Chains A and B, each alone.
Chain A
């Protein structure tokens, strides 16, 4: 392969990368309405989960739902703004264990199943949320 063709290939790769933010996950989740519905189901799952409910005893559920919806919207590449505090600040002092973090994720998995989110879409969202593990656990 000549230098010229390598430069051409690189140029092609750059050109095919969209300049605007990728909102395909946002679309797959059903946009604003879909994410809001999913987060409602998710919050209901959390509320009935004895493993973690104690962390939410003083939580304003309406606010939690709004912030989760904003956050998932941002993560999915949607046109939203997250107005809550950063993850580390929110979770510091809560001593969330690894098992509790996993329990929360399992609740999201259950919610996504209930809302019939396709497995491929579930995996995209789960992978993005798994990145937050170190900003939530053991603080």
Chain B
């Protein structure tokens, strides 16, 4: 955490130094979303159809983010970066460290993501924004996943997402909804490897997010993510979070959330907090 705090403050200062570049950013504030735990632009636990940064047609944008999720017996730390061009292509990378606070030890994974906006627009027109993406994940620690029945130390998730913003939604507030369908073999998002003794096939998992903007800078919302259940040693459950997001400028944003990760590796009721800081360039 101390290490991440240092990176956080570096990020924040870098973002403020980069602020003059803000004038070149061609999309509305908050439309880049946050950095999800797998590095793709999205919410906290769900990748959204939105592309990172505020790059519009013909523009480049980039983000860097640090995220900490702390629940009863585990702690997840993520460093994520992304690059977006043309509001069309997004490349991302994330380094995850999953600290097994109670059991002891840690699990590590790298995630490389690609996202492509296929059609539509988040704000304008009748169509939602449609994107397709993939997340290639590689475990750098596989002893524990292997011991509990994981079949592979790497895997690739494929997803399609649709997102839509209603500027004048219910209560005359601006609302956002996103649905993502992910084909995956990942156990606990890949931290416990891919495929298992009970199932080694891809499964389609729906993930949804809804948010409401209180004003241009503050949003509240919730996400729900279903997950496969491939390993016999412990049942795997769905995750959800309830978040508050703050976008003071186009350069920095903060997301705080309550996260319910249910039971992980047989340890029940893993609830706690989620905090993510993002800088946009």
> Given known contacts A50-B23, A97-B58, A98-B57, is B172 in contact with A109 (CB within 8 Å)?
no
CB under 8 Å from chain A, chain B span 202-228: 214-216
Minimum Cβ distance to chain B for residue A74 (Å)? 18
Q: Are B168 and A124 in contact (CB under 8 A)?
A: yes
**Inside 8 A of B123's CB, which chain A residues have their CB?**
130
A98 to B125, CA, bound (A): 13
> Given known contacts A97-B57, A99-B56, A106-B28, is B168 in contact with A127 (CB within 8 Å)?
yes
Q: Are A124 and B125 in contact (CB under 8 A)?
A: no
**Inside 8 A of B124's CB, which chain A residues have their CB?**
130, 133-134
**Inside 8 A of B168's CB, which chain A residues have their CB?**
123-124, 126-128
Q: Which of A103, A119, A126 contacts B26 (CB 8 A)?
A: A103
For the complex, is A114 an interface residue (Cβ under 8 Å from B)? no
**Inside 8 A of A109's CB, which chain B residues have their CB?**
216
Interface size class on chain A is 20 to 34
For the complex, is A102 an interface residue (Cβ under 8 Å from B)? yes
Q: Are A130 and B167 in contact (CB under 8 A)?
A: yes
A98 to B173, CA, bound (A): 23
For the complex, is A2 an interface residue (Cβ under 8 Å from B)? no
Q: Are B26 and A102 in contact (CB under 8 A)?
A: yes
Q: Are B215 and A119 in contact (CB under 8 A)?
A: yes
Q: Which of A102, A124, A127 contacts B27 (CB 8 A)?
A: A102
A99 to B26, CA, bound (A): 4
A51 to B5, CA, bound (A): 36
A105 to B87, CA, bound (A): 18
For the complex, is A120 an interface residue (Cβ under 8 Å from B)? yes
Q: Are A51 and B23 in contact (CB under 8 A)?
A: yes
Q: 0/1 per residue, A105-130, Cβ < 8 Å to B?
A: 11001000000000111011011101
A139 to B129, CA, bound (A): 22
Q: 0/1 per residue, A19-62, Cβ < 8 Å to B?
A: 00000000000000000000000000000001100000000000
Closest residue of A by beta carbon distance from B216: A109
Q: Which of B23, B56, B168, B215 has the most chain A CB within a 10 Å cutoff?
A: B168
Minimum Cβ distance to chain A for residue B216 (Å)? 7
Q: Which of B24, B26, B167, B174 contacts A98 (CB 8 A)?
A: B26
Q: Are B28 and A134 in contact (CB under 8 A)?
A: no
Q: Which of A100, A127, A128, A133 has the most chain B CB within a 10 Å cutoff?
A: A127
**Inside 8 A of B215's CB, which chain A residues have their CB?**
119
Minimum Cβ distance to chain B for residue A102 (Å)? 6
A124 to B215, CA, bound (A): 13
Q: Which of B27, B58, B125, B167 contacts A126 (CB 8 A)?
A: B167
**Inside 8 A of B24's CB, which chain A residues have their CB?**
51
Q: 9 closest pairs, A vs B, by CB?
A: A99-B26, A127-B168, A120-B172, A99-B56, A127-B167, A133-B124, A123-B168, A126-B167, A119-B215
Which chain B residues have a beta carbon within 8 Å of chain A's beta carbons? 23-24, 26-28, 56-59, 87, 123-125, 166-169, 171-174, 214-216
Apart from the given pairs A98-B57, A99-B59, 4 other A-B contacts in the complex at a CB distance below 8 Å: A50-B23, A97-B58, A99-B58, A100-B26
Subset of 15 A-B contacts with CB under 8 Å: A97-B56, A97-B58, A98-B56, A98-B57, A99-B56, A99-B58, A102-B26, A102-B27, A109-B216, A119-B214, A123-B168, A124-B168, A124-B172, A127-B168, A134-B125
